[in-house]
Amino acid sequence: MHLRTTYPQLKLIIHLAATTMDFLMLLAVLSCLLAGMAFGRGYTKRARAQATTHHVSDPAVAHRALIENADQFFNRPRTSVPGSLAVWRNGERNDNIATVMYGPHLRVLRCNLTAEILSRLGSLAPLHEEAARALVADFSALCRGGGGEVAIREPLTTAVFALATRMCFGDIVDAGHRITMGEVIRQSIVLAGELTTSLGASMLSKLANWRRIRRIYTLLDRQVELYLPLIAARRQSQSQLCGNGGTVRPYIDTLLDLRVPDDGDAPAGRPLRRGELVALVFEFLGAATGSTATCVEWTLAHLIDQPEVQDKLRCEIDGEADAGGILSSKSLRGGMPYLNAVVQESLRMHPPVPVIVRSVHGEGAKAIGGMTAVPADGAMVVFNLGDIGRDHKTWTNPNKFQPERFLGGGEAEDIGPAPGPKEIRMMPFGAGHRHCPAVNMGMLHIKCFLAALVHEFDWTPSAAEDCSGGVDMTEQAGGFVKLMKKPLCARVTRRT
């Protein structure tokens, strides 16, 4: 009798609960959309104006646009995901070097990075030596524990991120905090890459991506929580410098002292806002880690595929390394032509950032060709760096890993990682006014870690995988950084 009288009540309760859950889900979606309005503010209007998108894979066209008409191609479209993320919930722009509009603000940020960090690369030697030794120790332990089978990406990324963290904050970041920071940055980069390919200008697109939008803001808030205590600690104790003997000033210290142009009348400028500091730290840590670790992984894959190249590179490294197996900063920066050739060939074939995006206005569009009508607010041009580096008109056997092409007498003996004024044949770090200012630092990082790993270990195909057709060089689709679709695993043996 009791069950019969309560059954209709139970049905009502279940119905009300289901209705309430649907309503709460709808509320969550609507709340996320409202919270994401700052993300999309002006996005739809500008995206419609920049609906004209032109893809460039021809090196000659890239040169005509980015070098000959550089003044027309100096901004990233504000409709891009990085540009949109620069607008936080408070409506203020919190730009980093990649997102800020071309002008005095950009020049101040770039000059600060160049003068305070990049012009003193020789002073990084103690940090590089310590980072290389730590990486070798980690791989030695993995060799012993895994029977020689090692998954490369995680320990490599950890070592590179540890170096980037020291350069940014000095020695105040403990291991646990650093691991958390690295994971949050990794998730942020992956999610931003997903949004780049899936987020459109319409409200329907925003609705479809509401979970990703909510997640990216959660990750941005988490970065604030992780960075601000470190920034506060550096603000109170800027006398502590990273590196043996205090030879390098941490990047965050330079940002705390920096004054950027103010929109008002203050002639001396203003200090960077909290959001700007967080954005610049995220950029420094993410860019320094992603490009270095990615290039080293791709390069090791090719060295495993071509053991004769590995042996030739090791011979050069052995001849330059000291008794402890360490290469001098001078050798890494100016000597060792084959090491430089190997790294450049890897960057040509696998630029860490697959595309760069620029906006173009008015007459500048003619540099691209094929564009007859450009909206008043400009058009978007996407430069495909991978296609440019493998152009069949420019390179002999462009899909073959052949470092000798960068040596004396080779077809690319005068080509560097940053294009010169005469031509573009590869541009792994961009070109023109907005090329990456940290080209030399990136090259130094890559050479440091690659040389240490080749000097200390033999690299052969994994016995656990079918490598009869060579290492799988398939690229992972999408994302900000062009990773190997199948993370590299190899048999690693410590040299005696």
Q: Look at residues 37, 128, 130 and name the one whose alpha carbon lies nearest to residue 91.
A: 37
Neighbours of 200 (CB within 10 A): 14
Structure tokens at 366: 């003619």
Task: Tell me the pairing of strands 379-384 and 53-56.
Answer: parallel
Q: In whole angstroms, give the CA distance from residue 78 to residue 55.
A: 18
Contacts of 469 (CB under 8 A, 6+ apart): none
- Measured at the CA of 482, the angle between CA 326 and CA 141, to 5 degrees, comes to 40
Distance CA 376, CA 367 (A): 17
- At 164, which amino acid appears? A
In order of 105, 267, 270, 426, the CA distances from 264 in angstroms are: 13, 9, 9, 41
DSSP letter, residue 87: B
Distance CA 135, CA 156 (A): 7
End-to-end CA distance of the chain: 84
Residue 115, exposed/middle/buried by CB under 10 A (0-12, 13-18, 19+)?
Answer: exposed
* CA–CA distance, 100 with 436 (Å, rounded to integer): 13
Residue type, 94: N
CA distance 486 to 466: 13
Q: If you count them, how many residues does the chain have?
A: 496
Amino acid at residue number 437: P
E strands along 166-312, which residues? 259-260, 270-271
Count CB neighbours of 111 within 10 A: 12
Residue with tokens 């500008």: 46
The H or E element spanning position 57 is none
- Specify the pairing of strand 457-461 against strand 489-494: antiparallel
| Residue 168 annotated in ligand binding | no
C-beta atoms surrounding 69 within 10 Å: 19
Q: Which residues are annotated as a binding site for heme?
A: 436
Binding residues: 436
